[in-house]
Amino acid sequence: MNHMATPLTLFRNRLSHHWNTYRNAFFMIIDWVTGLYILVPAVLFAGYQYWSWWQEVPVWTESVPEFILWFLFIVFIQLGTIRWFIHEADVLFLTYSNQWMRPLYRYALCYYFVIQILSLSALLLFITPLAIHAYGWKPYELLLLLPLLLGAKGIQTTCIQWMECNYSGISRWIRIHCFRVGILLLVLTHLYYFRASMVYAFIEWIVLALGLTYTVKQRLNMRGSFGVDLEREHREQMRLTTLLVGDYTEKKPLFNVKRPRVIPPTERIYSKSEYTAAALLIKSYFRESGGILRYGQFTLLGMAAVAGPPLWLKILVWIILPLLFSYWFSFHIRMFRSHDFLRMLSGRWPVHGDTTAAFWFLLPYQLLLTVVIGMFSALGWWTVLLAIGAVAVCWMAGQSVLFYRGRE
């Protein structure tokens, strides 16, 4: 155990293993196709929408009550628990030594509060443009919410874990949910009064600080909680396992249907032959030497072409460029289909495999051009309609591949 000579080193190794597990799970779920066609356009579109919130108040906020912000705060407080990063073998080697277990629990608690501060800061940053421009909040009022929500969540989490260790059955369920309701009422009361009276808010902060200090101290000094903490740790780990293998395990149907359904069950998108052929064409393009570079160059060229001209010229270029791009992509399809092995399957090649591949190949490119037009022309929510039009343009460009192939 030379590489684990201290509790801090042991905690770092377990935390590193924890994050590596989540990183591997992320790349297992989000492959490069999903990232390119769904994740990247979604992130870019969300970033553009957030930037537009700072420039102009969205019209839909007039029909959305301010209570929706309170609801987000309540959801933040109710979700999550403290992970202690303990293992079964700790009961044999570490539980009898306070020099190991107490520092491990202390490091895990510090890590929990760091994660909560970062999560809450991200939430407050997300709602800041709406709270300031639409609901008249002051920036310092949002900043003052940080210690309130962090203290309320810390008290709730530590007290619930204490109840889980000391009570069981229906008594524990009633105590935990009553305590959750009490914290909920406390937070709602604060949100209702703190903007009107800073004295009330200051008094509540002191009470929360004292309560958080006391509950954290009691939680760290609790004895006999290793079994309950270990069970909770296994439950948190199984959530990730359930997410990964849930779609691959056979589930017993709730009802045994003897007669055929009126609507047949849906199939996975890539179980159809045309999507399999499309995925094969797209992967073969990006696996070629320079395929990613050429795609990026054409994308940057298109973004520059639609950034400067007048709006009518931008729309015209926005329609013509994907047609040219699809013509270029048709050469790759022609070369790929000319392979000796694929010639053996020419009779079974899906009719719409080429058009489907061209559609998904052009969609992220066209959405990027749409975002650029919306940003440089200040279209606001009209960008959403333009994005719907981008899907139609990509479909039209995909159908043009059949025309190019027919001229071979």
Q: Which of 246, 261, 294 is the last residue of a domain?
A: 246
Are both 242 and 282 inside the same structural domain?
no
Residue 206 burial (C-beta neighbours within 10 Å; 0-12, 13-18, 19+) = exposed
Does the structure show a pLDDT above 50 at 113?
yes
114 and 154, same domain (yes or no): yes
pLDDT tens digit string along 351-372? 677 888 888 888 888 888 888 8
Same domain as 292, residue 230: no
- Transcribe 56-81 into DSSP letters: S--GGGGGS-THHHHHHHHHHHHS--
Q: Are residues 213 and 297 in the same domain?
A: no
**Domain co-membership, 239 together with 343:** no
Q: Which residue has the tokens 């490091």?
A: 107
Element (H, E) at 342: helix 340-343
Q: Is residue 261 part of a domain?
A: no
Note whether 66 and 117 are within 8 A (CB).
Answer: no
Q: Is the pLDDT of residue 281 over 70?
A: yes
Over residues 7-52, the pLDDT tens digits come to: 899 999 999 998 998 888 788 777 776 677 777 887 888 888 888 8
Q: What is the mean pLDDT of residues 84-89?
A: 87
Would residue 29 count as lying in a domain?
no
Co-location of 204 and 332 in the same domain: no
Position 38 in a domain: yes
Domain count, the chain: 2
135 within some domain: yes
pLDDT digits 0-9 by tens, 131-175: 888 888 888 888 888 888 999 999 999 999 999 888 888 988 999
- Does residue 55 form part of some domain? yes
- Asked if 275 and 242 sit in the same domain, the reply is no
Residue 405 has pLDDT above 70, yes or no: no
Last residue of a domain, one of 231, 246, 261: 246
Enclosing domain of residue 287: 271-406
Return d(Cα 205, Cα 152) in angstroms, integer: 10
pLDDT, mean of residues 222-236: 85
Same structural domain for residues 228 and 343? no
Q: Are 226 and 91 in contact (CB under 8 A)?
A: yes
- Pairwise CA distance, residues 367 & 294, whole Å: 18
Check: CB of residue 326 under 8 Å from CB of residue 357. Answer: no
291 pLDDT above the threshold of 90: no
Query: pLDDT value at position 266?
Result: 39
Q: Residue 406: its pLDDT value, please?
A: 52
Is residue 94 within 8 Å of 226, Cβ to Cβ? no
Give the tokens for residue 266. 């849906």
CB atoms under 10 Å from CB of 308, counted, come to: 9
Residue 260 in any domain: the answer is no
Q: Same domain, yes or no, for 144 and 290?
A: no
- Is there a single domain that holds both residue 289 and residue 208? no
| pLDDT given for residue 270 in this prediction | 39
pLDDT in tens, 329-355: 888 887 877 776 666 655 566 667 788
Residue of higher predicted confidence among 403 and 247: 403
